[in-house]
Amino acid sequence: MTELRTLKVALLGCGNVGAQVARILIDDAGTLAPRTGARLELAGIAVRNLDAEREVDLPRDLFTTDGETLVKEADLVIELMGGIEPARSLILSAIQNGASVVTGNKALLAADGPALYEEADKAGVELSYEAAVAGAIPILRPIRDSLSGDRITRVLGIVNGTTNFILDQMDSTGAQFADALAEAQRLGYAEADPTADVEGHDAAAKAAILASLSFHTRFDLENVYCEGITGVSAADIAAAKEAGFVIKLLAIAEKIGNGDGSEGVSVRVHPTLLPREHPLAAVRGAFNAVFVEAENAGELMFYGQGAGGTPTASAVLGDLVSAARRIVLGGPGRIESTTGHVPALPIDAATTSYYIGLDVADQPGVLAKIAQLFAEHGVSIEIMRQTIHRDADSNVESAELRIVTHRASEAALAATVEAVKGLDVINSVTSVLRVEGA
């Protein structure tokens, strides 16, 4: 057997994912070499603080604070520092030096991906980032390669484990948002400052990446409409449940006809009702899943762990071995396909069904008035259900109205809801939520 060549790997960052990547590169070196066709040698790990506590016990002499020098000696660079700088500069430096790069940095990709892809194309190296979306789940490669001969029409993703855990807790225990969040924090699923997760920012960055690959067009964070889950109440969840739905925070990218023969893509993140029979409804706890609809393939779903050091490390290593194989075999890196040129659409252009909860006066003719208003705004009602409550003490009756509409545009719905609020028979609009997959 001939001696295998050695490829030097530089690791930037040693947080919970980075530490696991280092561990696997060291422990599994013997397994990885024959699969790759080369020995993958961990040449060094760049960190900010040499003395920080690590999750994994790693040789001290691997660590350095000089990322710039480390990157210059490497055939392959893994960037897991997060944030924009110095990650961006180090990646550019690696690419210009002829190294292929693997990153899990969704914030950087969503903010500055196009410039990085272009540099990698020019240099003929690979820039892979499977770990940036849905952790361990192979989703970017299937979209880019396996579906390259198909036309994706829609992607629905549960791509943030923290919010899925919180919503699942609320659904299964009846807890309020604040209590479910506290539980998620206690179990380590949510950070002390949960903003990036619960406000949907993390999911929005992933939505931009999914949309870009699915529609062969570069979308960035500015193209993504984003609404988090802080406004979802226990009552919303209970009502959804009673109606046969579950509430999930979805990252959605879908192609929409503009009515004039042209097409656009709506990219958005918001709490969404899903029928309990929908495959995504069964995604529990902190798990992730991405549901893809394509013209020829039909419905596909990819399910797995969306976070965690070890699962995410698996995605990083898949990219690393694939890039290393390409170096061994020769030939340039893969082409980034961005030839679709479809424009990003604002949220107003999206059409979905809606679930609307109303607190109304219990008097004759209310339903007719509301139905009339929906009709005037061109929003068709699929289901309308009224429940009467009587307060035992005051003997006052109040009525709760739940409406599910047919597909309507965001704009038509917003106008309808505004008009409904103006009716004197309406006490309050208790919820407005989108429905998918029905």
- Using CB under 8 A, list all residues that contact a second copy: 20, 24, 28, 31-32, 34-37, 130, 136-138, 141-142, 145-151, 216, 279, 282, 294, 296-305, 308, 310-311, 313-322, 325-326, 328-332, 334-335, 337, 339
Which residues lie below 8 Å from residue 172, measured CB to CB, with a gap of 6+? none
Structure tokens at 30: 């013997």
User: Number of H helices and number of E strands within the chain?
Assistant: 14, 18
- Least distance in angstroms from the C-beta of 54 to a second copy: 17
- Least distance in angstroms from the C-beta of 138 to a second copy: 3
Q: Any idea what the Cα angle at residue 169 is, between residues 165 and 173, rounded to 5°?
A: 170
Q: Which is nearer to a second copy, 40 or 184 (CB)?
A: 40
- Least distance in angstroms from the C-beta of 172 to a second copy: 13
Give long-range contacts, CB 8 A cutoff, 24+ apart: 20-28. 20/55, 20/56, 20/309, 20/310, 20/312, 20/313, 21/78, 21/80, 21/313, 21/316, 21/317, 22/56, 22/58, 22/62, 23/56, 23/58, 23/313, 24/313, 24/317, 25/317, 26/58
Structure tokens at 160: 């943030």
Q: Which is nearer to a second copy, 228 or 311 (CB)?
A: 311
Q: Which is nearer to a second copy, 36 or 266 (CB)?
A: 36
Place of tokens 């009502």: 239
In a 3-state reduction of DSSP, which class is residue 287?
strand
- Least distance in angstroms from the C-beta of 216 to a second copy: 6
Q: Which is nearer to a second copy, 299 or 418 (CB)?
A: 299
- Least distance in angstroms from the C-beta of 133 to a second copy: 12
What Å distances lie between residue 204 and 22, 64, 166, 173, 181, CA to CA?
A: 29, 33, 18, 27, 20
Catalytic residues: 206
Q: Which is nearer to a second copy, 331 or 422 (CB)?
A: 331
- Least distance in angstroms from the C-beta of 71 to a second copy: 21
- Least distance in angstroms from the C-beta of 59 to a second copy: 20
What Å distances lie between residue 274 and 245, 322, 341, 395, CA to CA?
A: 5, 36, 31, 36
Strand partners, 240: none
DSSP codes joined into one string, 343-365: PEE-GGG-EEEEEEEEEE--STT
CA torsion sign, 225 to 230 to 235 to 237?
positive
Structure tokens at 94: 């690696």
Q: Which is nearer to a second copy, 296 or 395 (CB)?
A: 296
Contact 96, 88 (CB under 8 A): no
In a 3-state reduction of DSSP, which class is residue 45?
strand
**Which is nearest to 350 in space by CA: 158, 160, 156?**
156
- Least distance in angstroms from the C-beta of 437 to a second copy: 14
Q: Which is nearer to a second copy, 41 or 362 (CB)?
A: 41
Q: Which is nearer to a second copy, 15 or 37 (CB)?
A: 37
Other Cβ atoms less than 10 A from the Cβ of 110: the count is 24
Alpha-carbon distance 125 to 87, whole Å? 17
